[in-house]
């Protein structure tokens, strides 16, 4: 229990540091670059994310969940990831100019080639992280992630000031994947452990990880394609400037989501993977984890949405007014879905990545259909509504599979998270009533701090009224921080 508290503490510190670094770099870069440059970066990163999903993540999950892992498995994973990276670079060279002409986005091809070159380190990073997860070296993972994000954020700011425009946004997002394996190697070297692993092909070992990997690969590929599909649809319907507004709204939401989900998944997976032989207990444990995460995540995203009219202009300055409403809807969508993502973590630990594939596929189809319908009715809300529909669809699928595996498997978590949402909405209502009722908000740091303080006081009181067990767990978490 003592070690688990240390892991939680390190992971929390990692999340806070990464969130602060990404927010600070976004604050600076948003005052230098234009919405159109943010729009171009969204297109490039959308395609790059899909390519990157095929290179590292499936092997990380497959290696992490195996009961027995040999060096040959690591060698094979490295071989496959390097082969896939070479294919991604070649594809970027061939397809980049065609996509640039198709979407009328000057500079897209060059940016895509540069971003694909940065994928060379994604395979080694995935292998090193999988080995660290199996050894439960979560302090090391947290340290490497935090340092890589801080360094990348600093270099992103320097690049933006130097006038490199879109490349600053690419470095902010992709450079941590390059730095992580390097920092991990430093930790291995300091312990006198082997740093270099030969890159070799072992057909038998590949077959052993293939069943899990290809299903998880398909799931991650479809999941990663959702932002790309949304970005290209927004660009096609409304242009690069509107896409840039969506990009900046996502950059307010994504750092917190990625920090909570990345940290939470690693810790939860280490617990859930040990329950592979007891699906009923595994699903119930996933529900308990989801409820525990919701106590913190739901008020964080609801509070972010409530304070967005002050927070976002204060962070990124004038010219981003459309992004305020976008960020509010995105915050609520992520707050709704993020706790239930841990059911997908349980299905991955169970060796059932096809559940995630089905959920992400249904979500992608629903997102695209809803975008077209809403764009035809009122284009101003097409992107955020489509994002919300995607998150809702994947959440519903996760709950259905929990019910399939265990009768009423998610009922208790669903009821408890509902009560947490009630407390968070009460908090948001108080903030809105006090600070946003009849006048334009005061865009100042002092007013933002007052809003945050009000939320910090109102939420625990509302949580105690709406869900006493949740409140007691929240107090226990704060005491054992």
Query: CA-CA distance, 21 to 28, in Å (whole number)?
Result: 11
In this structure, the number of other CB atoms found within 10 A of the CB of residue 447 comes to 15
- Last residue within a domain, chosen from 200, 232, 264: 232
Question: What's the number of domains the chain is made of?
Answer: 2
Residue 280 and residue 136 share a domain: no
Residue 210 and residue 281 share a domain: no
Radius of gyration of the chain (CA): 22
Residue 294 and residue 220 share a domain: no
What average pLDDT score do residues 339-344 get?
86
Q: Answer whether residue 411 is part of any domain.
A: yes
Closest CA to 435 of 458, 413, 462, 468: 458
Tell me the torsion sign for CA atoms 181, 182, 187, 193.
positive
Q: Answer whether residue 129 is part of any domain.
A: yes
What average pLDDT score do residues 27-45 get?
85
Q: Answer whether residue 249 is part of any domain.
A: no
Query: CA-CA distance, 442 to 453, in Å (whole number)?
Result: 16
Are 266 and 14 in contact, with CB atoms under 8 Å apart?
A: no
Give the lowest-confidence range in 36-50, 67-81, 189-203, 421-435. 189-203
Query: CA-CA distance, 5 to 2, in Å (whole number)?
Result: 5
In this structure, the number of other CB atoms found within 10 A of the CB of residue 161 comes to 12
Residue 304 and residue 360 share a domain: yes
Query: CA-CA distance, 127 to 138, in Å (whole number)?
Result: 15
Give residue 69's pLDDT band: very low, low, confident or very high (50, 70, 90). Answer: low
Residue 196 and residue 142 share a domain: yes
pTM of the model: 0.74
Q: Answer whether residue 433 is part of any domain.
A: yes
The 3-class SS string of the chain reads: CHHHHHHHHHHHHHHHHHHHHHHHHHHHHHCCCCHHHHHHHHHHHHHHHHHHHCCCHHHHHHHHHCCCCCHHHHHHHHHHHHHHHHHHHHHHHHHHHHHHHHHCCCCHHHHHHHHHHHHHHHHHHHHHHHHHHHCCCHHHHHHHHHHHHHHHHHHHHHHHHCCCCHHHHHHHHHHHHHHHHHHHHHHHHHCCCCCCCCCCCCHHHHHHHHHHHHHHHHHHHHHHHHHHHHHHHHHHHHCHHHHHHHHHHHHHHHHHHHHHHHHHHHHHHHHHHHHCCCHHHHHHHHHHHHHHHHHHHHHHHHHHHHHHHHHHHHHHCCCCCHHHHHHHHHHHHHHHHHHHHHHHHHHHHCCCHHHHHHHHHHHHHHHHHHHHHHHHHCHHHHHHHHHHHHHHHHHHHHHHHHHHHCCCCCHHHHHHHHHHHHHHHHHHHHHHHHHCCCCCCCCCHHHHHHHHHHHHHHHHHHHHHHCHHHHHHHHHHHHCC
Give the lowest-confidence range in 102-116, 311-325, 354-368. 311-325
**What does the CA dihedral 402, 404, 407, 412 come to, rounded to 10 degrees?**
20
Residue 187 and residue 75 share a domain: yes
Are 228 and 392 in contact, with CB atoms under 8 Å apart?
A: no
CA angle 358, 360, 363 (to 5 degrees): 105
Residue with tokens 């032989």: 277
Residue 339 and residue 217 share a domain: no
Q: Answer whether residue 247 is part of any domain.
A: no
What average pLDDT score do residues 49-63 get?
70
Are 111 and 171 in contact, with CB atoms under 8 Å apart?
A: no
Q: What is the pLDDT of residues 113-165, one digit of tens each?
A: 998 888 888 877 777 777 777 666 777 777 888 888 899 999 999 998 888 88
Domain span at residue 352 reads: 276-481
Residue with tokens 């209502």: 429
Give residue 423's pLDDT band: very low, low, confident or very high (50, 70, 90). Answer: very high
Residue with tokens 């407390």: 423
Residue 296 and residue 194 share a domain: no
> In sequence order, what are the residues at sequence separation of 6 or more whose Cβ sits closer than 8 angstroms to the Cβ of residue 418?
none
Structure tokens that stand for 311 in this block = 């927070």
pLDDT of 7 over the 60 cut = no
pLDDT at residue 478 in the model: 47
What average pLDDT score do residues 25-54 get?
84
Query: CA-CA distance, 373 to 385, in Å (whole number)?
Result: 10
pLDDT of 266 over the 70 cut = no
Query: CA-CA distance, 113 to 299, in Å (whole number)?
Result: 40
Residue 210 and residue 75 share a domain: yes
- Last residue within a domain, chosen from 232, 256, 287: 232
Residue 283 and residue 192 share a domain: no
Q: Answer whether residue 266 is part of any domain.
A: no
Using left for φ > 0, alpha for ψ between -120 and 50, and beta otherwise, residue 194 falls in beta
Residue 286 and residue 228 share a domain: no
pLDDT at residue 476 in the model: 58
């Amino acid at each position: 229990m003592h070690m688990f508290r240390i892991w939680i503490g390190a992971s929390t510190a990692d999340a806070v540091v990464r969130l602060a670094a990404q927010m600070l770099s976004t604050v600076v870069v948003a005052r230098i670059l234009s919405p159109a440059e943010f729009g171009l970066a969204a297109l490039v990163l959308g395609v790059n994310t899909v390519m990157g999903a095929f290179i590292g993540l499936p092997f990380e999950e497959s290696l992490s969940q195996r009961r027995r892992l040999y060096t040959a498995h690591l060698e094979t994973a490295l071989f496959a990831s390097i082969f896939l990276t070479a294919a991604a670079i070649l594809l970027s060279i061939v397809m980049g100019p065609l996509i640039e002409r198709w979407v009328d986005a000057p500079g897209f091809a060059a940016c895509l080639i540069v971003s694909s070159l940065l994928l060379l380190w994604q395979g080694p990073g995935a292998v090193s992280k999988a080995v660290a997860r199996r050894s439960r070296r979560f302090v090391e993972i947290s340290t490497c992630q935090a340092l890589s994000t801080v360094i990348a954020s600093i270099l992103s700011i320097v690049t933006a000031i130097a006038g490199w425009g879109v490349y600053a946004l690419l470095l902010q997002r992709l450079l941590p994947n390059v730095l992580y394996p390097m920092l991990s190697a430093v930790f291995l070297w300091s312990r006198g452990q082997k740093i270099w692993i030969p890159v070799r092909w072992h057909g038998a070992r590949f077959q052993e990880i293939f069943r899990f990997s290809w299903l998880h690969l398909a799931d991650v590929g479809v999941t990663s394609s959702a932002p790309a599909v949304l970005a290209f649809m927004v660009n096609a319907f409304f242009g690069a400037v509107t896409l840039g507004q969506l990009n900046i709204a996502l950059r307010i939401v994504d750092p917190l989501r990625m920090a909570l989900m990345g940290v939470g998944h690693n810790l939860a997976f280490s617990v859930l993977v040990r329950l592979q032989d007891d699906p009923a207990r595994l699903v119930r444990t996933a529900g308990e984890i989801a409820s525990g995460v919701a106590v913190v995540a739901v008020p964080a995203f609801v509070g972010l949405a409530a304070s967005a009219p002050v927070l976002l202009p204060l962070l990124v300055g004038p010219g981003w007014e459309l992004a305020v409403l976008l960020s509010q809807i995105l915050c609520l969508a992520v707050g709704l879905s993020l706790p239930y993502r841990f059911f997908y973590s349980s299905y991955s630990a169970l060796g059932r990545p096809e559940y995630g594939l089905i959920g992400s596929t249904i979500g992608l189809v629903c997102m695209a259909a809803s975008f077209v319908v809403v764009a035809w009715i009122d284009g101003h809300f097409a992107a955020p509504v489509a994002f919300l529909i995607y998150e809702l669809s994947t959440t519903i699928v996760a709950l259905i599979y929990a019910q399939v595996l265990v009768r009423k498997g998610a009922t208790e978590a669903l009821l408890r998270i509902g009560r947490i949402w009630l407390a968070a909405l009460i908090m948001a209502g108080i903030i809105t009533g006090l600070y946003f009722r009849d006048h334009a908000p005061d865009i100042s740091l002092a007013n933002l701090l007052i809003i945050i303080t009000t939320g910090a006081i109102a939420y625990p009181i509302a949580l105690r009224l709406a869900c006493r067990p949740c409140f007691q767990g929240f107090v226990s978490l704060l005491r054992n921080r």
